[in-house]
Structure 1
């Protein structure tokens, strides 16, 4: 069957079609935190290829996964035995309007390439931490990036998008065109169609002033407290993350890393804003300097061979003493999970929680926890590890950032969206994907199916 349908699809699209017995196949997919082998992988080259591939998957009743960067923690950017629609060849980065700073970016582009391309025009977009993260996945989940306090989420710069629906329609969505769908794709993930390109309004940004400060792990609570106090007083131009790292064997000792990104070229103002973060404890090293914004994006670090990353996250309404003490006591020490705390607020918080499907704007921080386990663990074992690692923060956190969720369950979805937001998303899902073709994600059931399944 695969050989027959392989030929059928290959003759209909401009892109590349790969199956396990084709010459192009070079073994199972090796993606961040996941290994697998789809029955068919389609590397589309155009929107028409996307239309054809969706139609093909539906015709042959093949489960459909959509992949932009392949960095998804939920392990759903592939599907063993199904069809993967891979967008990595749709990676154009165009300046549409220099005066208005409008840019068009293909969903398969990577944020490292985007940052470099926009720098040529003196522009930047708030994006992910690592160069290899795909534009599509990060944007659809919201986009908490290095300029979040200064310019908001990635979706707050989104002006329009091109999208292919489950029934093959090619649609342009914006505040004026299909506004309900435009609302949904700003935080609702890949539930509503395959987005092929995004139109953003970028921000002027030639360089930033930033880098990292590394503190001794023994001073975790003091450093956390000083960091939180400093970020409360910092201008919105300053963005920061603090990471509690337990060490890794004899290679990397336990440490606390404060990362800083000041969005502006005024070195005197940047120095004043950054100065309080340099005196929170015993400094092991620091590297604060003027640099291109693209330099803030790091190379991806995949889990070591044989290990799988198990993570969880949630939002902190306030970074109070109880939360900081809990983080210091339970994370970042040898044998404990990694914890990363990202400061929010600023421009992100000034957007109404109802304006987009990302609804967690009132929180001061988002916390991301990660621990390693053997790749062979079952999903039930992973769930137990995740629950135990997150338990100290469970009662003082709320919600979840869909891009930081590796668990695939109804709870992971309901944690990501308040009930009112989820209900609205489910209704929009029912309008554009009533058959739930796009189910290989943090899935929002179409409204009618949800009622039948959960009785509410």
Structure 2
């Protein structure tokens, strides 16, 4: 099974677009400091590999940019020749939106520089970096930027969609710690957007995705995070309903320096999990505590009182926690995602969760509930493009397997699970967890912020040059009514 995104393409046929002749391509290639790859070139097939092995795209050319000048040249070249354009940052996108068919892919994966200013507690990060690059650089100074849960995730994609993970309850979303971006617009201009300069654009990129340009660098505020007390607590799956009911009350009332996401999972057959738990279906919480270590024992006492099968919480460097799932989810697996925001975890929803967890189709398939509260709630719903700051959880369901032969099976499980739980949701989803789900779904995700995003799109990208994303369409579209 192959999942293909459905988007209009200005070119047709299987050959290269008509504007790509040697007379046009070679001068363009000569202007680049990076590498231009076309079908048949050494390295082209490798450049077309996506994190989600279920999706396959073949651009007419991939430009592996070395710097912002290469990005400007690529945008201008594509615009002048009316080429389809996609943008790849760290390359982790579940929907495979970093590549497009028969167009020009602007690939930032070689732009991975990170510079930390420990006195100002700021971090400058290039657009192709992954969070492991950032964690490595910041940890030397006892700092971290709030991000996700896997170190191979791209900085650009996660940030532009909002950014939630282990540090969200204490320090907010990634965008709540974003100070400025350098970005190339559809007309080829390089601008810096911040609260002081291009504030409308800065508002839009904080959750509005890659709709407004190519971000070549980010400036973040860094937070004081060094060693954390973290790890998984697991219970048998037959206790999942009991544990979920406990979790929905315990975590929102816990101090904000404790984060924990809930998971339905199959235990991987590898350390640190004991052999007697390998490949068992279980439920659990992955914790991250950034507070006073002297208070940790008392804080986790209610967790231990639930008699878990495993309480693997221990002191560790923050980057070690960030890499804990890297080996379980290498690039190239078959992925199918479905997601929702959730305001209330009802008993009826818990019953449905348990039913689908009992049918987990593969070791990597899972359901996570990420907390959306604490510091996230102290930013207004209209202060950034990220709208759903009034919910409690971000739910994601993923069907994952290494084998293409099982793609349909894991996809069908994820879709059925989503269909069963969606009636209990708040009506929108975290854009970084979305596949190609239609324009109404995008609008529902931004709710009342969607018209404002359209207004910014009308100013900076009125022709929808950047549309290979969860698209904000220029025009006068209004958000649909949300029944939840």
- TM-score > 0.5 by shorter chain: yes
Say which of 209, 214, 217 aligns to 2:237.
217
Q: Decide which moves more: 250-259 or 13-22.
A: 250-259
Q: Are the aligned partners of 1:226 and 1:277 in contact in 2 as well (CA < 8 Å)?
A: no
How much has 1:77 moved relative to structure 2?
1.0
Look up the match of 1:389: 417
Say which of 312, 316, 332 aligns to 1:287.
312
TM-superposition CA deviations, 1:30-74 (whole Å, max 9, x none): 221133322211111111111100011112222100001111111
Tell me which stretches of 4 or more aligned residues in structure 1 moved more than 6 Å: 247-251, 376-379, 381-385
How much has 1:376 moved relative to structure 2?
7.7
TM-superposition CA deviations, 1:300-354 (whole Å, max 9, x none): 544897x632111111112333333332233354449631111221001111111
Q: Are the aligned partners of 1:311 and 1:370 in contact in 2 as well (CA < 8 Å)?
A: yes
Q: Are the aligned partners of 1:160 and 1:182 in contact in 2 as well (CA < 8 Å)?
A: yes
Residues 1:147 and 2:176 are matched in the alignment:
no
Residues 1:100 and 2:120 are matched in the alignment:
yes
SS, match of residue 313 in structure 2? strand
Residues 1:263 and 2:290 are matched in the alignment:
yes
How much has 1:375 moved relative to structure 2?
4.4
Q: Are the aligned partners of 2:400 and 2:410 in contact in 1 as well (CA < 8 Å)?
A: no
Look up the match of 2:130: 110
Say which of 464, 473, 476 aligns to 1:445.
473
Q: Decide which moves more: 214-223 or 438-447.
A: 214-223
How much has 1:102 moved relative to structure 2?
1.5
Q: Are the aligned partners of 1:158 and 1:201 in contact in 2 as well (CA < 8 Å)?
A: yes
Ranges in structure 2 where 5+ consecutive residues have no aligned partner: 1-15, 270-276
Say which of 406, 413, 436 aligns to 2:435.
406
Q: 1:246 to 1:332 in 2, by over 3 A?
A: farther
Say which of 89, 97, 109 aligns to 1:76.
97
Q: Decide which moves more: 126-135 or 29-38.
A: 29-38
Q: 1: distance between equivalents of 2:90 and 2:157?
A: 7
Q: 2: distance between equivalents of 1:367 and 1:147?
A: 17
Look up the match of 1:319: 345
Q: 1:251 to 1:212 in 2, by over 3 A?
A: closer
Residues 1:338 and 2:366 are matched in the alignment:
yes
Q: Are the aligned partners of 2:361 and 2:413 in contact in 1 as well (CA < 8 Å)?
A: no
Q: Are the aligned partners of 1:227 and 1:280 in contact in 2 as well (CA < 8 Å)?
A: no
Q: Decide which moves more: 249-258 or 336-345.
A: 249-258
Q: 2: distance between equivalents of 1:396 and 1:24?
A: 46
Q: 2: distance between equivalents of 1:294 and 1:27?
A: 28
SS, match of residue 177 in structure 1? coil
Look up the match of 2:198: 178
Say which of 103, 107, 111 aligns to 1:86.
107
RMSD over aligned CA atoms reads: 2.6
TM-score (norm 2): 0.86
SS, match of residue 75 in structure 1? coil
Q: 1: distance between equivalents of 2:284 and 2:244?
A: 10
Q: Decide which moves more: 118-127 or 223-232.
A: 223-232
Ranges in structure 1 where 5+ consecutive residues have no aligned partner: none
Q: 1:201 to 1:68 in 2, by over 3 A?
A: same
Aligned length: 445
Look up the match of 1:254: 281
Q: 2: distance between equivalents of 1:181 and 1:347?
A: 23
How much has 1:288 moved relative to structure 2?
1.2
